[in-house]
Amino acid sequence: MSLNRIFDIAGSAMSAQSIRLNTTASNIANADTASSSTEEVYRARKPVFASIQQSVMNNGFNTAFTDNPESQGVEVKGIVESEAPLDMRFQPDHPMANDDGYVMYPNVNVVEEMTDMLSASRSFQTNVDVMDAAKTMMQRILTLGQ
C-alpha cells in the first residue's frame, strides 16, 4: 500500500521544518551576541530546502514514468550563513570593543526570524494534518469487509 509513502513524505517535511525552527531559535538566541572581530561574530543561519528527486535508475523504466510522482518529500541540503552586512556599533566602553571602539553584532533580523518561525510552525501543523488524514485512510482500509 503506497499510503506508507505519505508518512515518509510528511515525516521528511516535519523534520525539515523542525531544523528550520532550530536555526530560528539559534538565531534569535544569538541576536545580541557581541564580538570584537568580524571573523568571530555570529551570523544568521538559514536552512536550504530541496525536494528529494525520485531516482529513475533505482526504480527501472516501467515504474519511473507511470506509478511514482517525480519527487518524494523534502530534505535539508545544508545550512548556510547569511551574507547580510554585520551590525557595527560604536561603543568604546563595551568590554568587547576593538581598537577603534567598535563592537560587532550579528546580522540577525529578529522580525524576519519571528515570521520565519510562524511560517515553519504553520507548515509543521499542515504536515501533521496530512499525516493524520493518511492515518484515518489506513485505518479505514483495515476495516474492509467487516
Partner 1 sequence: MTISFDNALGIHEQALNVRVKRAEVLANNLANADTPGFKARDLDFKAALNKQMGSAQNEIEMAMSKTNSNHISTRGESGEALLYKNPTQPSIDGNTVDTQQEMAAYMKNAMDYQASFQFLNGKFKALTGAIRGE
Binding site for partner 1 (CB under 8 A): 1-3, 5-6, 9-10, 12-13, 16-17, 20, 49-51, 61-62, 65-67, 69-74, 119-120, 122-123, 126-127, 129-130, 133-134, 136-137, 140-141, 143-145
Range list of H helices, 1-146: 3-29, 56-66, 110-142
To partner 1, the closest distance from the beta carbon of 26 in angstroms equals 18
To partner 1, the closest distance from the beta carbon of 30 in angstroms equals 23
To partner 1, the closest distance from the beta carbon of 83 in angstroms equals 16
Amino acid letter at 135? K
Neighbouring residues of 3: CB distance < 8 A, sequence distance ≥ 6: 134, 137, 138, 141
To partner 1, the closest distance from the beta carbon of 64 in angstroms equals 10
C-alpha cell at 122: 504553520
Closer CB to partner 1, residue 39 or residue 144? 144
Closer CB to partner 1, residue 65 or residue 90? 65
- Under a CB-based contact definition with an 8 Å cutoff, are residues 34 and 96 in contact? yes
How many alpha carbons fall within 13 Å on the CB side of residue 100? 8
Closer CB to partner 1, residue 69 or residue 95? 69
Neighbours of 39 (CB within 10 A): 7
For residue 20, with 0-12 CB atoms within 10 Å meaning exposed, 13-18 middle and 19 or more buried, which class applies?
buried
To partner 1, the closest distance from the beta carbon of 106 in angstroms equals 23
Closer CB to partner 1, residue 60 or residue 95? 60
